[in-house]
Amino acid sequence: MALIVPSILSADVARLGEQVAATQAAGADRIQVDVMDGRFVPNITFGPLVVEAVRRHCTLPIEAHLMIVEPERYVADFAKAGADTIIVHQEVSLHLNRTIQVIKGLGKQAGVAINPATPLADLQEVLGDVDLVLCMTVNPGFGGQEFITSMLNKIERLRAMIQQHNARCDLEVDGGIHAETATQATRAGANVLVAGSGVYDAPDGIAAAIARLKAAVV
């Protein structure tokens, strides 16, 4: 059964504690904090302080998705703030193997993310080292975007690559995930789904939205 990971980008940040507690009560498997610096992506969002705040309001594993340049400079801060998994982007990690080792040395799970146009070949040397690969299904920076359907083939090829390398990492997708795309993405081989607007913008609320996503995965 695929894991459901709401991301707080679309949550009501004025009531973040309540929203996070409700997310856990609704059966989410993890929670993701979308960290953006206005340079790697055209938006600015959260820092380690928000990870600390989320940590105070739930016991779920927290993923810090660092959509920032020079992520290696901030890994220790997010680890200290309480993130359980730290995800860096391959596109801005000149020394990706070293950054992964640093994250693991801090006792955290290591994830690597790639944008829609980034080839899978850029992951193959680290598949055996990471706990999670994140295949972005939108161009990162904003919630509520449309799922890029051409990513379904990329997800299939990534799942095949993970199997060929006998890797044990999760295959996570992020962007435009709602019931229909959740079914498509899990059929293609994703086993962890990040959803922001699909959870927090749902007219019938967080619990119904998470139940819908859980029912939609194969």
Please select the residue that binds ligand DX5; options are 2, 10, 46, 112, rule is CB under 6 A.
10
Closer CB to ligand DX5, 167 or 209, in the complex = 209
34 is catalytic: yes
196 binds ligand DX5 (CB under 6 A): yes
Q: Please tell me which residue in 34, 37, 84, 131 is annotated as part of the active site.
A: 34
d(CA 78, CA 76) in angstroms, rounded, equals 6
Rg of the chain (C-alpha set): 16
Provide DSSP, 129-150. T-SEEEEESS-SS-SSPPP-TT
Closer CB to ligand DX5, 65 or 108, in the complex = 65
Contact mark string toward ligand DX5, 113..142, x via CB under 6 A: -------------------------x-xxx
Contacts for 176 with CB less than 8 Å, ≥ 6 apart: 137, 138, 145, 146, 147, 148
Please select the residue that binds ligand DX5; options are 92, 143, 169, 210, rule is CB under 6 A.
143
> In this structure, what token pair is assigned to residue 60?
């779920």
What are the Cα distances from residue 55, in Å, to 40, 61, 127, 146, 200? Answer: 25, 9, 28, 30, 19
151 binds ligand DX5 (CB under 6 A): no
174 is catalytic: yes
Closer CB to ligand DX5, 167 or 217, in the complex = 217
Sign of CA dihedral 199, 202, 207, 211: negative
Closer CB to ligand DX5, 47 or 143, in the complex = 143
How many residues lie near ligand DX5 (CB under 6 A)? 21
Using CB atoms within 10 A of its CB, is residue 146 exposed (0-12), middle (13-18) or buried (19+)?
exposed
Q: Please tell me which residue in 84, 131, 170, 174 is annotated as part of the active site.
A: 174
175 binds ligand DX5 (CB under 6 A): yes
Minimum CB distance to ligand DX5, residue 164 (Å): 27
Instruction: For residue 170, list its beta bridge partners.
Output: 132
The site for ligand DX5 (CB under 6 A) is made up of: 7, 9-10, 34, 65, 138, 140-145, 174-177, 194-198
